[in-house]
Chain A
Amino acid sequence: MMTLLSEIGSIILATLRDVVPIAAIIFGFQFFVIRRSIPNLGRVLAGFGYVIVGLGLFLLGLEKALFPIGKLMASQLTDPEFLRSGVDVVATSVRWQDYYWVYLFAFAIGASTTIAEPSLIAVAMKANEVSAGAISVWGLRIAVALGVAIGITLGTFRIVTGAPIHYFIISGYVVVVIQTFFAPKMIVPLAYDSGGVTTSTVTVPLVAALGLGLAETVPGRSPLLDGFGLIAFASLFPIITVMGYAQIAHYRAQRQQPSNKSGSETRLSNPAG
């Protein structure tokens, strides 16, 4: 019990240390530049307190429960022994198709960790508020989760096959650029943002473990050269799925009311200018 309490204490202290620079910048500018006190200061400070305690408990829980088992799973699933158990004993080398459990795990863990990602929840709440409910919190979260899942699955496929990362990333960029010109203008900035918010507290450690585990066990891969890159996949594909989600929603709304033109189309309607 005592060790548990001291663990909680030390992780909250660590979170506090992360927050101090941010708080110093905010309050420094507030007092020296803006020179006006923050409205509801007590409430805001209490809010910061909740954020620190919450993030601390969240991280401690992840370290206690999720990360050990997730990392263990990643290493067990990528173990050649496990991979061979399903195929012929004669087959000495493992083909890329034999990693199907790895791909499924990558997809499932990418989607499920993204749903629990606190910063994505924050952005989805803000987007819902700003769009006056037009963008649903769950719609956005599921679209982003699907993007991360596809991205990480492709990323593991890349590690297994050893294809160069930039081909995938550049093709992804091309898709994003093309979609940008056809997606409803209102969604574009939010879609770009959703690439960056997906990869934080929950997803990164598990995904990194999966990438390193794969790069260590797949013959011919170096963990240092090939272990990286999954995060890049996880931040590119949500852009595509979020725009896709908006395009599908827009298309279906248009089919129902063919004469109704979206008001947001008027601004920024000339992408070349």
Chain B
Amino acid sequence: MKHPLLAIGKSMLGSLRDLMPIILVVAFFQFLVLKQPLPNPFELGLGIVFVVLGLTFFIYGLEMGLFPVGQTLANAFARKGSVFWLLSFAFALGFGTTVAEPALIAVAAEAAQVAAQGGMIDDTNLARQSYASGLRMVVAFSVGFAIVLGVLRILKGWPIHLMIVIGYVLVVVMTFFAPREIIGIAYDSGGVTTSTITVPLVTALGVGLASSIKGRNPMLDGFGLIAFASLSPMIFVMAYGMLL
């Protein structure tokens, strides 16, 4: 065992190195392109210290908490052998982590505004709110569905590229039929659903499942859950836009 303080110090240096590119980019544009002094240098320095500390703790906790939990759950479900409970867990994880996602709440509110301006819904507070919360539910459901589908794929060993290609074809076909206003939002909604805590958990779950099921290769079958989780909201959101 290394001394914990030494380990933390070392990973803090690593976090600082991860952050360096941003600092350089900001400094370059601020001083050389925009030719302006830094606003609030003290706040800025303090913020950078927080970011470095935060990244260090996060990665430390990742290896201590999130990765092992995903792995343990995957092993336990594989041993229990109940597909029903595994799939319910997959759905709960996808739905539960997405429905409260702050980025999604923000995008849903903006989408409601677009819809109201485009005349798809009445321009009243109530109509906008119901549209936004409906959209949130649709996206959360679609992520739950995606994780279920992804877990099923790992269990059955279905080839991922076929499923992704089918997803792409659906996206492309629906693009031509969905209202123009919803397309940008639908495309973006795929990206906002996967949060910083969900990604490590879902990855550990997939890799854990693929390594504890016989005949599955963690590299070939373990990854891909995130891909489903970012593709399926696009399809569901466009469907929502078409039906409403």
Contacts and interface: CB of A to CB of B under 8 A. Distances in A.
Contacts of A225: 114, 180-181, 184
A199 interface: yes
Interface in A22-59: 22, 24-26, 29-30, 33-34, 36, 38-40, 43-59
Contacts of B58: 50-51, 54-55, 58, 118
Contacts of A44: 64-65, 68-69
Q: Looking at B68, B99, B230, which has the most chain A CB atoms within 10 Å of its CB?
A: B230
Contact of A192 (B45, B160, B171, B199): B160
Interface of A is mostly: helix
Contacts of B211: 130
A177 interface: yes
Contacts of A30: 73, 76
A180 B160 CA distance: 10
28 contacts: A25-B96, A33-B80, A33-B82, A43-B68, A44-B69, A48-B65, A53-B57, A56-B54, A57-B50, A60-B50, A64-B47, A65-B43, A66-B26, A68-B39, A72-B39, A73-B30, A122-B59, A122-B200, A173-B168, A173-B171, A177-B168, A180-B165, A193-B225, A228-B187, A231-B192, A232-B187, A235-B191, A268-B159
A170 interface: yes
A224 B114 CA distance: 6
Nearest to B14: A121
Given A39-B72, A112-B25, A188-B161, A126 B204 contact: yes
B25 A118 contact: no
Given A29-B73, A196-B230, A228-B187, A60 B54 contact: yes
Interface string B22-39: 101110111001101011
Interface of B: 18-19, 21-22, 24-26, 28-30, 33-34, 36, 38-40, 43-69, 72-73, 76-77, 80, 82, 85, 89, 92-93, 96-97, 99-103, 110, 113-114, 117, 159-162, 164-165, 168, 171-172, 175, 180-181, 183-185, 187-188, 190-201, 203-204, 207, 211, 217-227, 229-230
Nearest to A72: B39
Given A29-B92, A48-B66, A268-B220, A232 B168 contact: no
Interface string A68-109: 111011001100001000000000000000000100010011
Interface of A: 17-19, 21-22, 24-26, 29-30, 33-34, 36, 38-40, 43-66, 68-70, 72-73, 76-77, 82, 101, 105, 108-109, 111-113, 115-116, 118-119, 121-123, 125-127, 130-131, 165-166, 169-170, 173, 176-177, 180-181, 185-186, 188-190, 192-193, 195-202, 204, 224-232, 234-235, 264, 267-268, 271
A54 B50 contact: no
Contact of B224 (A18, A51, A68, A189): A189
A199 B101 CA distance: 13
A38 B96 contact: no
Contacts of A180: 161, 164-165
B191 A196 contact: yes
A67 B72 CA distance: 37
A73 B53 CA distance: 25
Given A122-B199, A165-B184, A197-B226, A235 B47 contact: no
Contacts of B196: 55, 118-119, 200-201
Contacts of A116: 18-19, 21-22, 51, 55
Contact of A51 (B52, B66, B89): B66
B26 A193 contact: no
Given A29-B73, A192-B160, A196-B194, 18 more contacts: A17-B100, A46-B65, A47-B65, A50-B65, A57-B51, A57-B54, A61-B49, A61-B50, A77-B34, A109-B25, A115-B18, A116-B22, A121-B59, A130-B207, A185-B220, A196-B191, A200-B199, A264-B217
Contacts of A55: 54, 58, 196-197
A185 B162 CA distance: 13
- Per CB-CB distance, the 4 closest pairs between chain A and chain B, nearest first, are A47-B65, A65-B47, A50-B61, A54-B57
Given A118-B55, A196-B190, A18 B73 contact: no
A118 B63 CA distance: 13
Contacts of B187: 165, 169, 228-229, 231-232
B5 to A, nearest CB: 15
